[in-house]
Amino acid sequence: MNSSSVLSTRCWRPVRAMWVFAYGSLIWNPLMEFAAQQTATLEGWHRRFFHSHHLGPGQPEQPGRILGLEAGGTTQGIAYQLHEDQALTELRLLWAREMASGVYRPTWGPLVLGTGEVVTAIVFVVNAEQALYEADSTVPTVLRLAANAAGVFGSNADYIRALDDALNERGVADPYISEIARALR
């Protein structure tokens, strides 16, 4: 799927509920209008700090790390249902936010909502071919980088703590995120 095929009104028109899966900053800072939100589980993908980031939570001389989803495992997050009449507008804004640097690859994924219903959602997964991809997402590496990285959107440590707080507020457990956040507090 490329961005032009999703955003072109000639190629795509929403005919029913459109869902977006949030597993990182979209949880606490969605910046989009939505009709509903629910806790959701995505099978086959796990959340890790795979992307070196020179903006937002970092700078070129001290890059931070942002999240990506890589194949394998399970991830819990938040599913946002877009308003049908606003879906195209919201997707354009989402694309501007998430796809500008090329660190993600959009795909469709089945989510199990908190109600047990299964829906298909847009999911932004890691683009391992992108230059900012970093295979080493171990806790010690992320801690070393995140402890001192800061950029125009604040510190990388604040980003990680905000994610941990947002997950905890929603009853979502992620030991990897919690371990890093605890060490950064």
Q: Is 90 a catalytic residue?
A: no
Q: Determine the distance from the C-alpha atom of residue 99 to the mean position of all C-alpha atoms in its chain, rounded to a whole number.
A: 11
Given a contact cutoff of 8 angstroms between Cβ atoms, the answer to whether 161 and 184 are in contact is yes
Cα–Cα distance between 41 and 172 in angstroms, integer? 10
DSSP state of 133: B
Among 168, 143, 152, 151, which residue's Cα sits nearest to residue 28?
Answer: 168
Active-site residue identified among 43, 61, 98, 169 = 98
Residue 83 has what DSSP assignment? P
Question: What is the residue-wise DSSP string for 50-75?
Answer: EEEESSTT-BTTB-EEEEEEEEEEEE
Q: Which residues are catalytic?
A: 98
